[in-house]
Structure 1
């Protein structure tokens, strides 16, 4: 079936609640895969029934959007570790509709990130992959499912592959690639670097999944 509205690749956290169930109704979290004026594609950890009604809270930028929606299709993905859901908006109040338009305007202009960033200040050590030089001591500034802002005392070249160790017990090292580096340091002498995780989004990283997890179903 052809969509009446254009969809934009916008991945933002979403909270849902089943509106067709008696309390306590099923609730859960997930992410949008795309978003438009008429609906969205949601990535959720468990399949929902086609036709069920949902109350949605989209934690979009620059404003949160609340809407009622109906599931119109469901299909499995990733060896059935998650499920895609096509939903159409059936009720969207004028203020939230305007908030949705602001979010879509960012998607049209390319200003919106593919992955939403969350603030996280955490000490790290960072070393180019395969290098014997001492690790650089720095910190993370913010993080998303796809990458992070890393602050280091030395400027690294774009496309440098790095290994990042977090100052947190029982956490794995992270492989990443430098996408960009700032030309000058900040007041603390650190250079900003945008890095992209090369092993994929961090759904399975035990610590960072607290900040970047796709969904933790509560139902």
Structure 2
């Protein structure tokens, strides 16, 4: 089957997706995780933990709510490290996508317009501990989904909208801590009075190390 190589320029859209990357050839840089800043059919602006050399060839795997998208890419520019402001920005261009992967990318950009800014939410079932400010005692529940901007939390107690929380995600590699606010509250699951109650949670504080841990969690098969 012929390669689907993208050679034209295409509009880029804000979209936060976690992805894995590794050099195509042996290199001092190890495989790593990052987040996209914007995305198109021809490339992306990405945020990584360390600076990569220009023209380095990469294999990448973007994680979406419909599965993963694999591509080969090349670094075209590298930004400066910004202490306290996240990772290192890079521009990458896609050098090869198989036809089915190119179609999956096109479909993602077409049908996820409303989710581009906030980040696509990926179904994730993790135990969580929530510490509401101004309320007694921790609440233990589970996540319904996660993104770079927030989560759906399933809790045994209804919390009012605008409640500020410290949330600890309990992962297989250790706890991931974040702070945020409840933005919406749903009805108990299954219509049962004692069912877990879904809450929309928006991150207000997520440091870069926690963001990387979250990206690794979302890109690692369960």
TM more than 0.5 = yes
Return closer, same or farther for 1:94/1:54 CA change in 2, 3 Å cut-off. same
- Per the TM alignment, residue 173 of structure 1 is displaced from its structure 2 partner at its CA by 6.3
* Separation of aligned partners in 2, 1:107 and 1:159: 27
- Per the TM alignment, residue 122 of structure 1 is displaced from its structure 2 partner at its CA by 0.9
* Separation of aligned partners in 1, 2:169 and 2:49: 27
Aligned residue among 12, 17, 38 for 1:12: 17
Residue 64 of structure 2: SS of its match in structure 1? coil
Aligned to 2:5: none
CA contact under 8 A between 2:64 and 2:122: conserved in structure 1?
no
1:167-193 deviation digits (Å, cap 9, x = unpaired): 79x9586432011110x2114422110
* Separation of aligned partners in 2, 1:77 and 1:135: 37
Return closer, same or farther for 1:36/1:209 CA change in 2, 3 Å cut-off. closer
Aligned to 1:63: 67
> How many residues are treated as equivalent by the alignment?
204
Aligned to 1:94: 99
Structure with greater helix percent: 2
Aligned to 2:119: 114
1:91-150 deviation digits (Å, cap 9, x = unpaired): 222111101111111333x145515435133152442x234x455453333333432222
Structure-1-length-normalised TM-score = 0.76
* Separation of aligned partners in 2, 1:26 and 1:154: 43
Q: How does 1:1-219 map to 2 (within 5 A)?
A: 4-19=9-24, 21-22=25-26, 26-79=30-83, 82-108=87-113, 110-111=114-115, 113-127=118-132, 129-131=133-135, 133-164=136-167, 174-182=178-186, 184-187=187-190, 188-199=194-205, 201-205=206-210, 210-213=213-216
Say what the alpha-carbon RMSD is for the aligned residues: 3.3
- Per the TM alignment, residue 156 of structure 1 is displaced from its structure 2 partner at its CA by 2.4
- Per the TM alignment, residue 73 of structure 1 is displaced from its structure 2 partner at its CA by 0.8
Q: Structure 2 regions of 5+ residues with no counterpart?
A: 1-7, 218-222
Q: Which runs of 4+ in 1 moved over 6 A?
A: none
* Separation of aligned partners in 1, 2:23 and 2:169: 38
* Separation of aligned partners in 2, 1:198 and 1:157: 17
Q: Structure 1 regions of 5+ residues with no counterpart?
A: 215-219
CA contact under 8 A between 1:145 and 1:203: conserved in structure 2?
no
